[in-house]
C-alpha cells in the first residue's frame, strides 16, 4: 500500500511539474516577453517625447522666422514693384522737388539696365534750390515708398552767387522686379 501511495504522490508531483512547465512555457514566458517589449516601447516613447519640447521650440522659432520673412518680402515687393511705372516715379520726384522747394529743370529717363531678376531705371535730374531743400529732397527720395538709389550727385554754386542757392545734378535709379516674369 505504501507503494500505491508513493505512486500516487509521484504522479501528483509529476502532474504538478508538467502543469508548472506548461504554465511557464505557454503563459508566463509569452507574458514576460510582451511585458519586456511593452517596456522597451515605453522607453523609446519616453526618449522620443523627451526631445518633443525642443522640437516644439524649434518649430515656434521657424514659424517666427517665416513670419518675419513674409513681412520682409511684403515690404520689398512694395519697394521694388513688378511694374515699372516710370511715369509714376517721375511724378513722385516732381512732387518731392516741389515739396522741397526745388526748381527741377531737367528730369530725363536714361536707358533701362536689365539684370537677371530686376531692372534698373536710371533718371538724370537737374534742379536748383537751397542746401536744406536738396537735403530734404534726397532724404525723401531715398526713404520713399519705392526703392531708389542715388548713383551720382553734384552740387555747384549758381552763377558765383553766395546766396545759398545751388545747382543739383544727380542720377538716381528706381528698381523693377523681374523675377516673376
Please report the pLDDT score of residue 80 as a whole number: 60
pLDDT in tens, 60-69: 999 999 898 8
For the whole model, what pTM was predicted? Answer: 0.55
Question: Using 50, 70 and 90 to split pLDDT, how confident is the model at 127?
Answer: very high
Taking residues 126-146, report their average pLDDT: 88
How far lies 158's CA from each of 69, 96, 124, 155, 161, in Å?
A: 47, 21, 19, 9, 6
Percent of the chain with pLDDT over 70: 88
pLDDT of residue 78: 66
Predicted confidence (pLDDT) at residue 162 exceeds the cutoff of 60: no
Question: What's the CA gap between 41 and 36, in Å, rounded?
Answer: 9
Domain positions in the chain are 2-78, 86-177
Which architecture, in CATH terms, is 86-177? 2-Layer Sandwich (3.30)
pLDDT value, residue 12:
83
The grid coordinates listed for 144 are 520713399
Determine the average pLDDT of the residues in 93-109.
89
Quote the percentage of the chain above a pLDDT of 90: 9
What pLDDT is recorded for position 159?
60
Main-chain phi, psi angles of 114, to 5 degrees: -90, 135
Report the mean per-residue pLDDT for the chain. 82
CB 131 within 8 A of CB 166: yes
d(CA 66, CA 72) in angstroms, rounded, equals 10
Helix (H) or strand (E) holding 105: strand 103-109
pLDDT class of 126 with cuts at 50, 70, 90 = very high
pLDDT exceeds cutoff 90 at 72: no
**What is the rounded distance in angstroms from the CA atom of residue 25 to the CA atom of residue 19?**
10
CA distance 14 to 106: 118
Amino acid at each position: 500500500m505504501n507503494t500505491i501511495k508513493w505512486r500516487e504522490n509521484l504522479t501528483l508531483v509529476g502532474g504538478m511539474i508538467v502543469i508548472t512547465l506548461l504554465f511557464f512555457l505557454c503563459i508566463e514566458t509569452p507574458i514576460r516577453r510582451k511585458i519586456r517589449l511593452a517596456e522597451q516601447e515605453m522607453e523609446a516613447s519616453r526618449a522620443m517625447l523627451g526631445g518633443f519640447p525642443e522640437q516644439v521650440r524649434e518649430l515656434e522659432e521657424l514659424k517666427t522666422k517665416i513670419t518675419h520673412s513674409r513681412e520682409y518680402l511684403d515690404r520689398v515687393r512694395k519697394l521694388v514693384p513688378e511694374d515699372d511705372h516710370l511715369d509714376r516715379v517721375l511724378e513722385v520726384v516732381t512732387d518731392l522737388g516741389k515739396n522741397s522747394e526745388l526748381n527741377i529743370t531737367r528730369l530725363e529717363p536714361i536707358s533701362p539696365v536689365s539684370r537677371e531678376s530686376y531692372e534698373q531705371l536710371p533718371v538724370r535730374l537737374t534742379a536748383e534750390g537751397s542746401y536744406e531743400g536738396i537735403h530734404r529732397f534726397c532724404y525723401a527720395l531715398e526713404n520713399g515708398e519705392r526703392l531708389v538709389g542715388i548713383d551720382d550727385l553734384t552740387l555747384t554754386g549758381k552763377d558765383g552767387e553766395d546766396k545759398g542757392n545751388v545747382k543739383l545734378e544727380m542720377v538716381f535709379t528706381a528698381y523693377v522686379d523681374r523675377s516673376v516674369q
